[in-house]
Amino acid sequence: MLKIGNIEMKNQVVLAPMAGVCNPAFRLIAKEFGTGLVCAEMVSGKAIVHGNQRTREMLFVDEREKPLSLQIWGGDRESLVEAARIVDKETNADIIDINMGCPVPKVIKCDAGARWLLDPNKIYEMVSAVVEAVEKPVTVKMRIGWDNEHIYVVENALAVERAGGSAVSVHGRTREQLYTGTADWSHIKNVKDAVSIPVIGNGDVSSPEDARRMLDETGCDGVMIGRAALGNPWMLYRTIQYLSSGQLPPDPNAEEKIRVAVLHMDRLIALKNETVAVREMRKHLAWYLKGLKGSARIKDVIMEGTKRDEMVGILESFVDQLKAEGNLESEPVITGNAS
């Protein structure tokens, strides 16, 4: 099983720290579907230190989500260390993760995120400073390099290990690729061969079979699933089952998808006010509806919705129509423990 520092996961499946997605509402569903480790969306170290109210709310961890990794980012050593101390002492997160892969300009210009990929010495300096300041295990999430001419992933992972990092997650794309092209898993294998700390592979794991292949081809200790889980926590559950038993559970039917989508929305409303939560939920509902027969006809309506009951009515009518048309799949439903 995957073990990071003194934190032991019950399986090898990890939910990636996706910005704008991995709040407690979605993380708890992922956990209820069996995910070994869930990661919170990245938080600015400077915003944590400055005590920004919205940022502090992002540090909330529901006990049911644990074990959980909370990711911070920043290019300034002093504020990053202070932010790590706050996460260490004032939250019940289990692991502190440092972002070294975010490719967006607003992060890069702060000498943070993927900018570190060009400088193993900075990685060593920053990670060692954080490790010395906290008690919780410290991990790093990185990309393989800045571009194809600057791939220092092995040197960077070794710097994390020397600095006292407890694990490293490697996304098989460069900063230049953003989220396009193909992830190169060979670099994940190279990192695994070079370091003794756990390595979590990330990138292009779109099915349970992909997860199995990544483990087999790279020897990595865990598999991180990101975009494939959007509106699809069943991907997490099915991967766990497939890795443990070789059996591939069926996909959920439309009724089950809508049930969990409504649960997700209600949890989001409990975290935020209804107006904010419903607006944020629109993109999630589009993901939940993806691939369902006839869903195109309600997606435009969903994108205009502003009230919880309005959204639920649209979704339930859609399911009723599928039943009436005989288009509701009758395969066994995967429920996880989400309720």
Phi first, then psi, for residue 224 (nearest 5°) are -100, 125
Closest CA to 229 of 248, 200, 206, 251: 206
Phi first, then psi, for residue 158 (nearest 5°) are -65, -35
- Three-state secondary structure readout of 124-137: HHHHHHHHHHCCCC
Number of H helices and E strands in the chain, helices first, is: 14, 11
Among 22, 39, 102, 220, the active-site one is: 102
Residues 200, 220: contact at Cβ < 8 Å? yes
Token representation of residue 235: 């991907």
Token representation of residue 279: 């607006």
Cα distances (angstroms) measured from residue 335 to each of 32, 173, 204, 328: 9, 33, 25, 16
Phi first, then psi, for residue 24 (nearest 5°) are -60, -30
| Residue 102: active-site member | yes
Cα distances (angstroms) measured from residue 278 to each of 107, 269, 294, 306, 330: 28, 7, 22, 6, 30
CA 269 to chain centre: 21
The residues annotated with a catalytic role in the active site are 102
